[in-house]
Amino acid sequence: MSGDPVAVPAGPGGRSLGSRVTGALYAVGAYALWGFLPLYFVLLEPTGPWEVVAWRILLSLVFYAVLIPLAGGWARLRAILRRPRLLGWTAVAGVLIYLNWQLFVVATLSGHVIQMSLGYFINPIVTVMLGVLVLRERLRPMQWLAVGLAILATLVIVVGYGAFPWLALGVAFSFGFYGLVKKRIGPAVDVTSGLTLESLWLAPLAVGQLVVVALTTGLTFGTSGPGHAALLAMAGVVTAAPLMLFAAGARRVLLVVLGIAQFITPTMQLVIGVVILDEPMPGERWIGFGIVWLALIVFTTDAVIAARRRATEVAPDTPIRQE
């Protein structure tokens, strides 16, 4: 961007107000696109979940292969290829995101969108639990309360509904571990290079899945009309676009903003499951979801309080307005 610098008010983290607003819009756009994904995958029927995920991997790889030279990313990618440890972590990340994608599509195409939304509602709390168990982080009292409420909600759903929400927990834990791996990699791997390598590691698996599907039920790409083929061909863009928006937003806004915005996705998925796809929502599920929402209120309140406290500690001379 060229032009004379313009003085704008800076917010937390030194970001200008305009940058933070733009980042928030990017983040909201990413979570909204993820929220619409169940409808996209339903439109892909009669394509099954194994074929959908295989095309999603391969077409994403094609998208990134086109994007990297346009973004001048070959140098960054070559630097990562010279570091075996980083390559290994991208392979682990690829396996975890594959599990997440496969569970996501299986849940969507088997009529379990509501259960999948539960997984994304509890994902922030699962991430906190993994931080305690894996990274030996300490939880604040309100975070412990949120974790306890999430466990209670799962028990209510299991006992009242009579089924273990394995899809929800699988989605939550696979994405939670994926986040841990990405945190371990840190800034050493940029977004585009990381996603490219993850897709590259998964490409042989995707080809194998397509071969198995072709030999069993048969591939649907190109056999269900041009409209269906066009939708399936968009799988790479549909996968990459929200990830790119999220990465752009994450660089511009505070973590607490991302933490609150992420509830857009499961809320949209819950509405889609109940209103559009007409999935059953018995009383036990409503009670379980109610406890989860209470846990999220506690969790988010604690995050906001902690963020304000950190901001005060960073700028101790800044006067604090009394509410």
Span 15-54, pLDDT tens digits? 566 777 888 888 888 889 999 999 999 999 999 999 999 9
User: How far apart, in whole angstroms, are the C-alpha atoms of residue 116 and residue 269?
Assistant: 8
Residue 10 has what pLDDT? 41
Q: Across the chain, what does the average pLDDT equal?
A: 83
Per the DSSP assignment, residues forming a β-bridge with 16 are: 10
CB-based contacts of 194, cutoff 8 Å, min separation 6: 90, 93, 182, 185
pLDDT average, residue stretch 78-86:
89
pLDDT average, residue stretch 199-209:
95
Instruction: Name the band, by pLDDT with cuts 50, 70 and 90, for residue 296.
Output: confident
ω into 38 cis (within 30 of 0): no
Instruction: Write the CA distances from 35 to 39, 82, 129, 257, integer angstroms.
Output: 9, 37, 24, 17
User: Residue 240 above 90 pLDDT?
Assistant: no
Residue 315 has what pLDDT? 52
User: How far apart, in whole angstroms, are the C-alpha atoms of residue 121 and residue 139?
Assistant: 19
User: Residue 209 above 90 pLDDT?
Assistant: yes
Instruction: Name the band, by pLDDT with cuts 50, 70 and 90, for residue 308.
Output: confident
User: How far apart, in whole angstroms, are the C-alpha atoms of residue 13 and residue 311?
Assistant: 9
Instruction: Name the band, by pLDDT with cuts 50, 70 and 90, for residue 62.
Output: very high
Residue 255 has what pLDDT? 63
